[in-house]
Amino acid sequence: MKLLVVEDNQELTEDVCTFFREDGFVTEAAYTIQQAREKVGVYSYDLVILDLGLPDGNGLDLIGEIQQQHEGTAILVLTARDSIDTKVQGLEQGADDYLTKPFHKAELNARVHSILRRRISGGSHQIQLHELTVDLSARKATIHNNVLNLTRKEYDLLLFLVYNKNLLLTKESIAEHLWGDHFDQADNFDFIYNHIKNLRRKISQAGGKNYIRSMYGMGYKFVSDPS
């Protein structure tokens, strides 16, 4: 998978690139519209993460150009401009998704995977991890071929954890992922704990290992190698 990150802040670009490189992506960075234009003109990418506020113009202008070059390139708009206008514009121009800063890396990761999965036709829509299989098209998870009886939220949570395996998922990022703006940050996170507890129970009842670890009381991590 080839990924282009268009973002003027080098630190952030580096962070995002490193993160996806560790996940097996080939990443490249562009800091201006001009650089991005040159790269898109020469190479083809599976996904472009595009910041809108670039020093030499608005990233929105690039969306059309990218799609003209390679129809198969997915675009995820990343911006600090949290206005509905920009959101609608971005999606209307053909962006696949939209994420506002500051974002959780886990959220970005989940979105990227979700976009790519939708874009890739015919391929396997399954994630396999030891005895656990997540069937993305059927929205089902199985352990040793036993279907887990998950609620919608539990399935979403499991997928979020699996996409971000071996990463700390803070309670804030889980809450934002599952409840979006409805989540009230001031409230306690007990209901996340309830979901985690149920998920653990259902996995272990089906004969799965304990993949979900609690981290520093701050969040959870899905460990791919529980020993």
Partner 1 sequence: MSKRKFRLLSKAVFFYLLFTLVSFIISALILQREANDHMHNILENRFHHREHRIEYILKHEPDKLQNSSYAHVRQVDHVPEGFEPFYTDTLMLNEHTRRENIYRKKTTYMTVEGTHYKVEMTKEADELYRFKDDVFHIVLPVFLILALAILLANYILSGHLFEPFRRILGQMASYKIGQAGSLPSIKTTTYEFDRLKQLYQRMQQRIENDYFQLKEYTENMSHELQTPLSIIQNKTEAMLSQNNLSTIQAKQVKAIYEETQQLSRLGKALNLITQIENQEFQNIRTIKTAPVIEGHLEKVREMTDMKELQIKKALDPKHAFTIDPGLLDVMLRNLLKNAIRYASHGSTIHVETGDAGMRFVNQGEAPDFEPQQIFDRFRRGNGQKTLGLGLSIVKKICQVSGLEISYEYKEGHHIFAITNPTSE
Among the listed residues 1, 35, 53, 69, the single contact to partner 1 using CB under 8 A: 53
Task: Report the residue number, 52 or 206, with the smaller CB distance to partner 1.
Answer: 52
Count, residues near partner 1 per rule CB under 8 A: 43
Q: How far is the CB of 25 from partner 1 (least distance, A)?
A: 16
Among the listed residues 167, 199, 203, 212, the single contact to partner 1 using CB under 8 A: 167
By C-alpha distance, which of 158, 167, 112 is closest to 135? 158
Q: In Å, how far are 36, 60, 80, 116 from 5, measured between CA atoms?
A: 9, 14, 15, 15
Q: Taking CB under 8 A as the criterion, which residues in 59-88 touch partner 1?
A: 80-85
Asked whether position 170 contacts partner 1 by CB under 8 A, the answer is yes
Neighbours of 123 (CB within 10 A): 9
- Give the C-alpha separation, 103 to 5, whole Å: 15
Residue type, 222: F
Among the listed residues 1, 35, 60, 103, the single contact to partner 1 using CB under 8 A: 103
* Burial class, 81, CB count within 10 angstroms (exposed 0-12 / middle 13-18 / buried 19+): middle
Measured between its terminal Cα atoms, the distance across the chain in Å is 30
Task: Report the residue number, 15 or 131, with the smaller CB distance to partner 1.
Answer: 15
Q: Taking CB under 8 A as the criterion, which residues in 176-205 touch partner 1?
A: 179-187, 190-191, 194
Task: Report the residue number, 131 or 155, with the smaller CB distance to partner 1.
Answer: 155
Asked whether position 219 contacts partner 1 by CB under 8 A, the answer is yes
79: Cβ contacts below 8 Å, ≥ 6 apart: 51, 52, 53, 59, 86, 90, 98, 99, 100, 101
The footprint of partner 1 (CB under 8 A) covers 9, 11-12, 15, 53, 80-85, 100-106, 153, 166-168, 170, 172-173, 179-187, 190-191, 194, 215-219, 221
